[in-house]
Structure formats: C-alpha cells, structure tokens
Structure 1
Amino acid sequence: MLGKGELKSFCEQHELPYTSIVGLKNNSLKREQPRLLQRLLRSLDVATELIRIPPNSVSPRFLFANLEALTTFQTQFKSFDSNTPPLSDSEHAAGASESPAP
C-alpha cells in the first residue's frame, strides 16, 4: 500500500498520469476511464481484459485472467479499504511476535 505522499512517485514510476489517477481515486473524473483503470490494475500486478457484455453495452467490464488475479485484486482492495497493508502469513506472524503485549 502506498503511504501518504507516495502516489506521485508511483505514477511517475509506472508512467501513469498523476492528475487522472487522483481524479480516479476521488471519483471526480467527468467520464469513465476504463483503459486508465486497466493500466492502474496492471501496475498493481492484476491482469485484466477489458470486455463489453452485451457487446453494445456502454459500460465496460473487466475480466480477470485467472482466480489468482482476482484473489490478488480482492486482497489489495480490502487492504486499501481497511487502510492496512496486505501482509503474508509469515510477515503477519513475525509482526505479531514483535509487538509488545498491551
């Protein structure tokens, strides 16, 4: 998860337009940006394919490449939603043993 102030460097590193990513984050874009969202997901190692169901639909949908990509996305989304970084079981166990007891 990105810390405060790290979004700009993340955008520069992945060649993403900072202003548009902030607009996407704040839900202030004037129109849907499915390709930008797909590029952002790809930068977070979540492979997707942009599809339209039904074919004449105005709103695009995202198809995840496999179950692992969907699981990665869900894990990252939950961590962003809860404002905690995703940890593996070994990192979580190590962090718990280092924390002082209340």
Structure 2
Amino acid sequence: MQARGELKSFCDQHELPYTSIVGLKNNSLKREEPRLLQRLLRSLAVATELIRIPPTSVTPRFLFPNLEALTTFKAQLKCFDSGTPTLPDSEPDASESPAP
C-alpha cells in the first residue's frame, strides 16, 4: 500500500499518468478508461484480461486468471478501503513477536 502523498512517485516509477490516476481514484474521469485501469492493476501485480461480454458490448469487464487471484484482489481492496496497512495474512506470526 502506498503511504499518503506517495501516489506521484508510484506513478512516476510505473510510468502511469498521475492526473489520470488521480481522476480514476476520485471517480472524476469524463469517460471510462479500461486500458488505464488494466495498466494500473498490472503495476500492482494483479493479472487481468480485458474482455467484452457479449463481444458487441461497450462496457469492458476484467477477467482474473483464477479464483485465488480474484480473492486476493478483493482482500487487498478491503485493506485499502479500511486503511489497514497490510493484508491480514501478511501480519507477523505470533511466534515471531517478542515476548512481553
């Protein structure tokens, strides 16, 4: 997860357009940007395929390679929404914590 104020450096590092990413984040883009969203997901190591169902549809959908990838992505979104810095399963083991 990016700390506050680090979005600009993240965009620079991954060669993403900062203004468009902020617009995507704030839901203020004037049109849908599925390719931008897919680039952003790829930068976050989330593999997806952009598809249209039915093929004549103007609304794109994202296909995850498997259920595990989708479940992980949903857990990441939940962490971002709650402000939790790490995923629950990435917290240190109790055995690794120093004794009180």
Aligned residues: 98
Which AA in structure 2 matches 1:72? Answer: T
Which 10-residue stretch deviates more, 64-73 or 9-18?
A: 64-73
1:64 alignment counterpart: 64
The reply to whether residue 45 of structure 1 matches residue 45 of structure 2 is yes
2-structure distance, mates of 1:89, 1:61: 28
Report the CA distance between 1:46 and its aligned residue.
Answer: 0.5
Alpha-carbon distance in structure 2 between the residues aligned to 1:34 and 1:72: 20
- 1:23-73, CA deviations, whole angstroms, 9 ceiling, x for partnerless residues? 000000000000000011111111000000011111000000122321221
Q: Check whether the contact 1:46–1:72 (CA below 8 A) recurs between aligned residues.
A: no
Does residue 30 (structure 1) correspond to residue 30 (structure 2)? The answer is yes
Tell me if the contact between 1:75 and 1:86 (Cα under 8 Å) persists in the aligned partners.
no
**Other-structure match for 1:10:** 10
**Inter-partner Cα distance in structure 1 for 2:90 and 2:31:** 42
Paired AA for residue 28 in structure 1: S
| RMSD across aligned positions (CA) | 2.0
CA contact (8 A) 2:79 2:87 kept: no
Question: Which residue is 1:76 aligned to?
Answer: 76
Q: Summarize the Cα distance change of 1:32–1:91 in structure 2 as closer, same or farther, 3 Å threshold.
A: same
Q: Give the number of the structure with larger relative contact order, counting CA–CA contacts within 8 Å between residues 6 or more apart.
A: 1
In structure 2, C-alpha distance between the alignment counterparts of 1:7 and 1:87, rounded to whole Å: 19
Corresponding residue for 2:55? Answer: 55
Unmatched 5+ stretches in structure 1: none
Instruction: Tell me the distance in 2 between the aligned counterparts of 1:28 and 1:89.
Output: 33
Structure 2 residue aligned with 1:86 = 86
4+ runs of 1 displaced by more than 6 Å? none
